[in-house]
Chain A
Amino acid sequence: AQSVTQLDSHVSVSEGTPVLLRCNYSSSYSPSLFWYVQHPNKGLQLLLKYTSAATLVKGINGFEAEFKKSETSFHLTKPSAHMSDAAEYFCVVSGANAGKSTFGDGTTLTVKP
């Protein structure tokens, strides 16, 4: 069984300040973990992924995430928010075998000017 908990349903930051979106996971297997972003009325864009290589993962648009097995966390960070980062962010865990993806509830990121 696998599950994902995104700890914040809404995060609001000012432009130029750091972003932290928190995600905890549970998985019976060695998980693959992903962050996707969804802009309004758009599809899902992959930001970054962890698949058992380096625990600090760098993604697109300056985002990165750190896999911490001891804390079962995979938090997403960005040093400096941009207005274009305003979107819905999903943390996703994927397991072994047929490997369906389980999505978190999502975090809405608002960036204030």
Chain B
Amino acid sequence: EPEVTQTPSHQVTQMGQEVILRCVPISNHLYFYWYRQILGQKVEFLVSFYNNEISEKSEIFDDQFSVERPDGSNFTLKIRSTKLEDSAMYFCASRSGPPETQYFGPGTRLLVL
């Protein structure tokens, strides 16, 4: 069964450093998403991406964040200058189209020191 994959599974970085989280969505899917889950809290929407542009973003998704689909298969989330409060699990998701199910990747656990 096709699945969403994410790399790396864990990343530790120093405050102020740039990180890039990578996702490979399911191949025929057209809608892509990033969510985050701070430890012990609920999953929060960050951004949705369709037709090579952001379709919606939350207030969390400020200028420090960017997304890109560089090559038709990968979908990346970049955090330009990480803060301590960016420490969280980041989930990528994709779907073929509404109202179909969003399929979530296993997550990348980011720790900012």
B95 close to A (CB within 8 Å): yes
Q: Are A100 and B91 in contact (CB under 8 A)?
A: no
A98 close to B (CB within 8 Å): yes
> What is the interface of chain B mostly: helix, strand, loop, or mixed?
strand
A70 close to B (CB within 8 Å): no
Q: Are A98 and B55 in contact (CB under 8 A)?
A: yes
A-B contact count (CB 8 A): 66
Q: Are A94 and B102 in contact (CB under 8 A)?
A: yes
Interface size for A (C-beta < 8 A) is: 25
Q: A90-B42, A105-B42, A106-B42 are in contact. Are A97 and B101 (CB under 8 A)?
A: no
The complex places the Cα of A79 from the Cα of B107 at a distance, in Å, of 31
Q: Are B43 and A98 in contact (CB under 8 A)?
A: no
The complex places the Cα of A34 from the Cα of B100 at a distance, in Å, of 11
What is the interface of chain B, defined by CB distance below 8 A to chain A? Answer: 31, 33, 35, 42-45, 48, 50, 55-56, 91, 93, 95, 98-107
For the complex of A and B, the 8 pairs showing the least CB-CB separation, nearest first, are A98-B55, A43-B106, A99-B98, A103-B43, A32-B99, A44-B104, A98-B48, A100-B45
